[in-house]
Structure formats: structure tokens, C-alpha cells
Structure 1
Amino acid sequence: MKNNTPRITIAVISDLNTDQRIQKIATSLQNNLGQVTVICRKLRHDNPTYEYNVRRIRLLFNKGFKFYAAFNIRLFLKLLIQPSDIIVSNDADTLLPCYYVSKLKRCKLVFDSHEIMSEVPEVIHRPAVQKFWRWIEQKYIPKIHYKYTVCKSLQNYYKSGFEVIRNVPYRFEISENKQKREEKLILYQGSVNMGRGIEDIVAALPFISNALFVIVGDGYLMKELHLMVQNSNVAEKVIFKGKMDPKKLSIYTQLADLGISIEENLGLNYYYALPNKLMDYIQAGVPVLVSDFPEMRNIVKKYKVGETLKSREPEELAQQINRMLNDEEQIQKWKENLKTAAIELCWENEEKILLKLYREVLH
């Protein structure tokens, strides 16, 4: 590697192993612009092989104030000794150390906003915590010249010069030889946390005929969800797959008959969301049922690849799902529309916007 190759350091607090957005961005920058290093936290199930460098922070705490404080202190120290021409902060929970180290080292700073930290469900009912994140958003984000986010609604929310780079998957060929099954598959993939609508599907399962509900992912709601499945007597209709490697997941997603993304309105973070799982379903050729929120509604209506949620009441939700799983004429229309949508909603297109932005940073 030449000495004049730009050195790009990406700071992220999420699980790198399942954070497909960070993986795609790091790979695109590594392959096209410079030497990339991702600084992230150390986890038990870490994947040791990436195309770019990875520096891991080992922590004693996994959640709460101590976790955030310890991570940010360690991140600050790591960034100080890491050679960097560009530092990339992912979300407000990495912003303070990235901002101050970029000033100390006189290097460029880029901000990548996946979500509104002051509006995540875990903090909207904790005024002091919410006030802290809002203070960071209002004090520091406007000072950053180069920044991008995942959708138009978040761009409008911040109102301070954000580019939009959507979190979409790479293009891949869909297998035309899907194994015929007696039961249809309803799929949820992603974090198993508050407000994702997973409990609504479980509550509707007694009224859904000839279908299994597959949950791919993990989160703090898992124990409660297992208990709900048992108490609702639907254990034979629910399959928990746990976390899955993104490459394996993209193949598994194709098996589904319906993809679920029915988040609840627990603050602007969910209301403005354009979940990557929605894009994964589309790329895999799977019709979708989504919340009637701006970004998801726009995608479903523009490309005609599914429906928006009509009701969370169990029997009414089951009626909508039963119809979506069994209306063969409509399913075929969705399938054709999904092919068109997948060509447009792919990382190969978003990567061009990403690289253009970073080339501007470097000049």
C-alpha cells in the first residue's frame, strides 16, 4: 500500500458482525479509496475475517451508562493512536471522541447517521438521557461539514446538509427453484427489541392458517418473546433462528413468502425508519407487510411490492396476512414488481453516491 493512500478510520458501537451497512461502507471505501480501519467493540461471536482492518475494544459492561462511558473513553484513546486522514463517526453514540480527536489531529470528520439517538424507544421516556443525546445532536452535528443518513425523512429532520445514502443490499441472483413447502413462511429479521411488531404477529398466529413465523435475530426481548409463544400455545408455529451471518441470511431470506417490518410508532426514530430488512426482503424477491409510516409507505406504494399494515388487532392482522399469503394473482404481480425494485434499490447504486462524497472529503 502506497504511503499516500488515504487512511480512513470508522468508529462504530454496534455489532460489526451483523451491521451490514458498516460492512458495505467499509468494503466500498477499502476497494475504491483507501486503507480502512473499523474500531468497534469486542464480542464473543466476532468474525475474524474482513477485507479491511478491524480494531476491537474489549469492555466489562454491555449496556447502560457504564457501557457508553467506557466505550467512548477507550474509543478516544484508540483514535488518538490510530493514523487517520478521515475519521467516520457512526451515530451520536460515537460522535464526541470522533469530533475531539479529529480536532486534535486536524483530520477530516464524517458523520453517518443511522438513527436519531434522542428518539430511540429506550430513551424517549427517560428525560435526562434524552436531553443528553439531544444536546449532542444540536451542539455537534451542525458543526460537521460532511454527513449522510439513511433516508429522506432523517435528512429533513436534521436540516443541516445531509446526503442520503440508503441502507440497501448488494444485487444478487434469486434462485428460481424454491423448494415447495406445505406451509408458508412469514419472516422477521433484525433486532428482537421493543416496538418491532413481533408480538403482534405472535398474537395473530392462532388465526393465521398454514403458516410458520420465522424470527432471525436476537435482542433483549427474546426471553419475553419465548414466554409469550409458550403462553399463546403457538410454539409449533414459531421458529427462532437467532443471529445469522449476512451472507447466509440473504440466501435464507429468499425462502420466505412474506417479509414483516411493522414497527410501532415509538418516537421519530421508528416513525421515520427505512429498515434495512425491508430492502433485504425486496432484494430477495419477497412481498412485504410494513408499517404505514412515511419511508416504508413510500417504498411499498412506489414499487407496489406489498401492503401497509391495516390493523394490529390480532384477528384483523391475521386476515390481512392470510390474504397476502394466498392471493396467487396478487402475489405474482408483487413478484414482477420486486424484480424492478431490486434493480434500483441495491448497494451498487448507493455506492456511487458514497464514493462521490468521500472524494469530495479528500479534496
Structure 2
Amino acid sequence: MQSIVFTVTNEISYDQRMQRICSSLAAAGYRVTIIGVKRSASSVIPIAPLYGKSYEQKRIQCLFLKGPLFYIEFNIKLTFLLLWLSYDYVCAIDLDTVLSVLAATAIKRKKRVYDAHEFFTEMKEVRTRPFISAIWRTIEKLSLPHFKRGYTVNQELSDLFFKRLQIKYEVIRNLPAVGFEDPADCKRLKKIADVLAETALEGGKNKYTFTSDKLNQLIHNQLKDKFIIYQGAINHGRGFETLIPAMKKVNAPLLLVGTGNFLTEVEDLINQHNLSEKVLIHPPIPPAELKKLTPLAYMGITIFEPEGVNQYYSLANRFFDYMAAGIPQVCVNYPAYAEIGRQFPFALFINDIESDTLSTAMNNLLSDAVLYSSLKQVCPEATKNLNWEKESERLLAFYRNL
């Protein structure tokens, strides 16, 4: 039985994408371990296996949790851990773990893989800081030529990696895991755990009770009618500078579920525009609960700033998560999203993320029942075609051919 180790710098418990990847490979017979960071003193959230087969989780405790000292400390500890562990392959998730993976696999003469979830050096928080950008560009230039095999989230980013590094990475999209209504499919996929199946809601909005008391209070009070959801990282480049002011003109509250490096600025924007009763923030919640929360929303938001190739050529998880939850969304009309939208029009696309554009689009979905219904009706058909059960075949083929 071959073994694979994945390395990330985030909290594994909230990373749906890595949970899907690890579960699929474990179910296919691989021995899978994922190494992440222990970012809080709270107990580890149990992760139910997606296909009935669990995988090992390891979390590195760091004294520093951000900045250069964090990356130095984490990579030193990760290197020693990788030298100690037994495995056949190591997959570095994004650029911030490649040095450790490169060093350990070179010493142990093991195969290495690169998972480019982001075009790391083109993220706003990197490219807008010259000194930091120079460091990561150097790491990219020195390390990635040694990662000849890898994958990224869409064809556009694959082409950009080839243009810069002359390395051809395959495409494995971040599609949601779904449940199936067809009896034959249910039987074939009976190992899919119900806790992770994204199924349609039945009944009213009070169907689910969440482990977070704050979230329960929000659902029953401020969010008891129509509300808009943004789920995911609250990071630079996600358009919050225009989204928050836009909410002054929108006829529904906005719930942000997540955290990130732009959280303090978002809180300041909310206070600056006197929107504390209309724009609500909740920390990340376990994926199993997020799948229960998202369908309660009336619509989702998927926006990025157009500057920077990482934003412009993105293909965010939330774009598909809203689809699988059966709710329309307002989405930027960037290449990867537009291509999918032409085949499955389940989103209202906008050509810019100015505040007036955003507020107009959100109010259109709130008030135009015909438009809303037409987008919503596409979600189930799109989900049957755009799901992890199908996309994971690319992942399994990739590792079979290493």
C-alpha cells in the first residue's frame, strides 16, 4: 500500500478541499497523512471520512503563528517530521511548504508533488509588498523546477505556470462532494458519510441547530428572513473594500463566515459605515455544519479584485459550494467562472466590483423572483455534472501515474 503525505500551513479542520483529497485517496487504498498547523488551544474537530476510510492528521505546534518567524519555525519542524516519517510521496500545498518538502524528499530520495491551489507569488498580500514578494519569487524560482509533477485548480493557472516556469501542471478543480438521489448511485456510493453530503434542505430555516450559540442566535434573529452569505477566507484582494459599503443599499443582511489577514480591516469598514447590525461576522465553522448553513442563505457572493493574476484567474471553492447548496450567487465575470457560467447559468455575473454594481446585482436577486428562480433551477443539474465524485477520478489517475 503506497503512502502519501500532504503538507499545509492552515487548520486542517476547516479545509474542505484537503479533506476531499485525503478521503478520496484513502478510499482508493493509499495510506494518507496530512500535516498542518495547530492554530488554537481548542480541541481538534473530528473529521468524518468522506468515503468511509479515515486518514491520519498531524498538527505542528508553533510558538509563532504569523509572519516570517512562523514560516521559518514551521518549515524547520516540518522538515524534521518529514525526515522521520515513512512515505512514498509528499505533496506540498502551495509555496509555503515547498522548501521542507524539497529538502526532505531529496535526502530520502522520495517523489514530490506540488499542489498549486493559489498562484502564490501573485496573491495581493505578496505581490504588493516588494521585499516579501522578492523572497517568495526567489523560493518559487529555486524550488518549483524540482517539482516536475503537480496540479492546479483551472486551465488558466496551469497555462500561467507553464509560461513562467515551463512546467505543465494538470488541472484538478475544487468541486464539492455531493449526495445522489438516484437509487443506483446511492448504492454505488453508499460509503459517502451523511455528515459531509451536500443534500437539499427540507423544511424551514429552523431545521438545523448549530454547535455555535452565536450562530444559532443569528439564524433565529438577524438572519431569520432572507440573508446573503460569504464563506471563506477574509483576505486581501477579496473585494471587501467595495462589498461592505455596498451593503448600505442592499435590502438584506450579509453574513461573513471565516477569518483571514483582512479581518481587522473588514471590522473597521463595518464600523466606519455603521453596518454592525447588517454585516455580521462569524468565525469558521466545521465543513459539516457549513453545509447545513449555506442552503439557509438566499444567495452567495463570489468576488475578487481584478488586479493580479491570482485573483483574476481564480476558481474559488465557494463558487461551487453555493451551487451545491442550491442558492444563486453574485459572481465576478472572470474567465474561469464565465466559462462554467456559459454551460450552467446558476450565477448572476457582474463585470466589475464597484459598490453600486454589487448593490444593484444583490437587490436584483432579492427582488426579481423570475431571475432568481431561473438561476436556482440550474443548480441541481450543474451539481450532477460538477462534483468531486467525478473530478476525483482525475486525482486518482494522477497518483496512479506518478
Fold equivalence (TM over 0.5): yes
Point out the more displaced range, 47-56 or 179-188. Answer: 179-188
Match of 2:11 among 10, 15, 18: 15
Contact 1:188 1:259 in 2 (8 A): yes
Matching residue of 2:94:
91
Percent identity of equivalent pairs: 33
Matching residue of 1:152:
155
Matched, 1:320 2:327: no
- String of CA shifts for 1:124-183, please: whole Å, max 9, x gaps: 122232223223333332332321111111111111221111111111321143439874
Matching residue of 1:309:
350
- String of CA shifts for 1:43-98, please: whole Å, max 9, x gaps: 21452534211222111111111111111111110000000111111111111111
Unaligned runs of 5+ in 1: none
Amino acid at match of 1:322: N
Count of paired positions: 356
Whole-Å separation in 2 of the counterparts to 1:252 and 1:260: 15
Distance apart, 1:120 and its partner CA: 1.0
Contact 1:188 1:198 in 2 (8 A): no
Matching residue of 1:47:
44
The equivalences for 1:1-363 within 5 A come to 5-44=1-40, 45=42, 47=44, 49-50=46-47, 51-159=54-162, 160-171=167-178, 172-179=198-205, 183-209=225-251, 211-361=252-402
Amino acid at match of 2:99: L
Amino acid at match of 1:108: K
Contact 2:341 2:347 in 1 (8 A): yes
Whole-Å separation in 1 of the counterparts to 2:249 and 2:225: 14
Residue 270 and residue 155 in structure 1: after superposition, are their counterparts in 2 closer, same or farther (change >3 A)? same
Distance apart, 1:34 and its partner CA: 1.6
Distance apart, 1:215 and its partner CA: 0.8
- String of CA shifts for 1:6-55, please: whole Å, max 9, x gaps: 12111111221211111111111112132111111112145253421122
Point out the more displaced range, 23-32 or 74-83. Answer: 23-32
Amino acid at match of 2:298: D
Contact 1:121 1:267 in 2 (8 A): yes
Residue 157 and residue 234 in structure 1: after superposition, are their counterparts in 2 closer, same or farther (change >3 A)? same
- String of CA shifts for 1:164-218, please: whole Å, max 9, x gaps: 1111111132114343987421111111122212342221122112x11111111
Whole-Å separation in 1 of the counterparts to 2:344 and 2:258: 27
Whole-Å separation in 2 of the counterparts to 1:94 and 1:46: 24
Runs of 4+ in 1 over 6 A off after TM superposition: none
- String of CA shifts for 1:225-283, please: whole Å, max 9, x gaps: 23322332222222222211111001100011111011112421111110001110111
Whole-Å separation in 1 of the counterparts to 2:2 and 2:17: 21
Amino acid at match of 2:39: L
Distance apart, 1:311 and its partner CA: 4.3
Whole-Å separation in 2 of the counterparts to 1:272 and 1:100: 30
Amino acid at match of 1:264: E
Query: RMSD in angstroms over aligned alpha carbons?
Result: 1.9
Whole-Å separation in 1 of the counterparts to 2:309 and 2:152: 14
TM-score, L = length of structure 1: 0.92
Amino acid at match of 2:306: N
Residue 136 and residue 255 in structure 1: after superposition, are their counterparts in 2 closer, same or farther (change >3 A)? same
Structure 1 residue matching 2:11: 3-state secondary structure: coil
